[in-house]
Amino acid sequence: MSEAGFAGRRVALVHPSWHSCGTYRVVLGQIEAYRAMGAEVFPIAVSSDPGFVPGRDWIWKSFAQATPELDAGLRFYGGAPFHAVLGPRFLTRTLWPYLHGDQAAIRLGMAARAKLPRELAARDYDLVHCNHFFLMPVARRLARGRAPILLDTHDLQARQFELFNARMPWLSPRVAYEQMLAQELEAMRGADLLLHLNAQEAEDFRALLPEKRHALLYPPTPSAPMGPGGADIVIVSSNNTANVESVIWFLREIAPKAPGVAVKIAGNVDAGVRAGAPELYEAHKGRFLGRVDDPGAVYAGAKLVLLPTISGTGLSIKTVEAMSSGLPIIATPQALRGMDAEAFQLPGVSVVETADDFAGALTVSAADSPPRESDRSASPARAYYESRFSLPAYRRSLATLAKPLLGL
């Protein structure tokens, strides 16, 4: 069902060339929402690695194979050519700071030099929707000073960069958090409306950029299947610092206290655990499924979802996906960050604070029968998802926010 005023509108949707992660799931929801409103969507995946330019299908093959959902409509690629990163300006202002850990500088520098497909760059757009501040150079080129820009911030990135830098051997002196934050905020000033994925993020950015327009907009998260069900107890997790720390905590502190309970760990988090705790990985490698082509199938064949989250900032997309499945959940309070108080009181969602309590809840729940598909569709967690994170809920909110920018 189209939303009045959006039929035929052209929307350029800029996103990082990532897959198997929360950002990618959010991007899929954005594309689906705009198309459902009747807009013509032009998604462009932008790489932060040199050489990933348009037209080189062979270099984009791996990403294309990992993102079949984008084949449903037009899709474009962009990235900086090798020669663009060899100039003196890049070497001194981008590469040298990066060798000291400046994640903001390298990402902005690569985006500023990204080559775009001619047919994409030559079009006029009614709206540009950008994901992550570091792709604002691409968004501004597409907007041409005429189209309004919506920027999805996806958390305060300087915090994420600090977490990432903690495990990297950068040159001294290391870049300061404040330096990366300043670049992030400066890039964000070029957007007409800043969209934030959770309440804490919105509060932080309103304080940092009081002169800008802000809106809290929970992300559209595609629904996980609610059946047919099965006997699996699952953890679904991608390879980032917070997820790796959380899975290691589960294996060290919880699994030994729930002997005999089989838990499957799906997603490419296995690579991070293998690198960060090789002995622990070897002891539990039978639990890891690795990257899966269809995460939804993991939820479809499960009876219980575990969210042993101990770190991370911003809204947890995998928590939203778990709620959408209608399955019983055992979670730490950290897994529900960015959600309102109702999330902590939902029947079927057991919130536990310690490893002992988590193991105890897991041992009890492991003996339960798989819920029926009808029970999953009627679960309070599923209803919570529908009211806040479903595509219809997102589409209604997005239309309300975007209409004034389009003069509607």
* DSSP helix/strand/coil, 39: coil
Bridge partners (DSSP) of residue 304 are 233
The per-residue pLDDT for 200 is 84
Check: CB of residue 80 under 8 Å from CB of residue 115.
yes
pLDDT tens sequence across 148-206: 999 999 989 999 899 889 989 999 999 999 999 999 999 999 999 999 988 888 999 99
Instruction: Calculate the average pLDDT of the chain.
Output: 94
The per-residue pLDDT for 2 is 59
The per-residue pLDDT for 240 is 87
Q: Which two tokens stand for residue 21?
A: 């992660």
Using CB atoms within 10 A of its CB, is residue 15 exposed (0-12), middle (13-18) or buried (19+)?
A: buried
* Model confidence at 317: pLDDT above 90: no
Asked if the domains at 10-220+390-406 and 232-388 fall in one CATH topology, the answer is: yes
Torsion of Cα atoms, 296 then 290 then 313 then 258, to 10°: 90
Q: Mean pLDDT over residues 282-296, rounded?
A: 93
The per-residue pLDDT for 312 is 82
Q: Which two tokens stand for residue 392?
A: 């219809």
- Kindly state which CATH superfamily the domain 10-220+390-406 is placed in: Glycogen Phosphorylase B; (3.40.50.2000)
Domain ranges of the chain: 10-220+390-406, 232-388
* Model confidence at 1: pLDDT above 70: no
Fold classification of 232-388 is Rossmann fold (3.40.50)
User: What distance in Å separates the CA atoms of residue 181 and residue 177, rounded to the nearest whole number?
Assistant: 6
R_g of the chain, CA atoms, integer Å: 21
The per-residue pLDDT for 126 is 97
Q: Nearest Cα to 235, choosing from 145, 312, 295, 151? A: 295
User: What distance in Å separates the CA atoms of residue 405 and residue 138, rounded to the nearest whole number?
Assistant: 19
pLDDT tens sequence across 340-350: 889 999 999 99
* Model confidence at 368: pLDDT above 70: yes
* Model confidence at 325: pLDDT above 70: yes
* Model confidence at 405: pLDDT above 80: yes
Q: What is the 3-state secondary structure (H, E, C) of 107-122?
A: HHHHHHCCECCHHHHC
pLDDT tens sequence across 75-130: 999 999 999 999 999 999 999 999 999 999 999 999 999 999 999 988 999 999 99
Q: Which two tokens stand for residue 213?
A: 């327009």
* 3: confidence class by pLDDT, cuts 50, 70, 90: confident
* 268: confidence class by pLDDT, cuts 50, 70, 90: very high
Share of the chain above pLDDT 90, in %: 85
Q: Nearest Cα to 206, choosing from 194, 218, 197? A: 194
Can you give the pTM of this predicted structure? 0.77
Q: Would you tell me how many other CB atoms lie within 10 Å of the CB of residue 159?
A: 18
The per-residue pLDDT for 88 is 93
The sign of the dihedral angle between the CA atoms of 8, 3, 14, 294 is negative
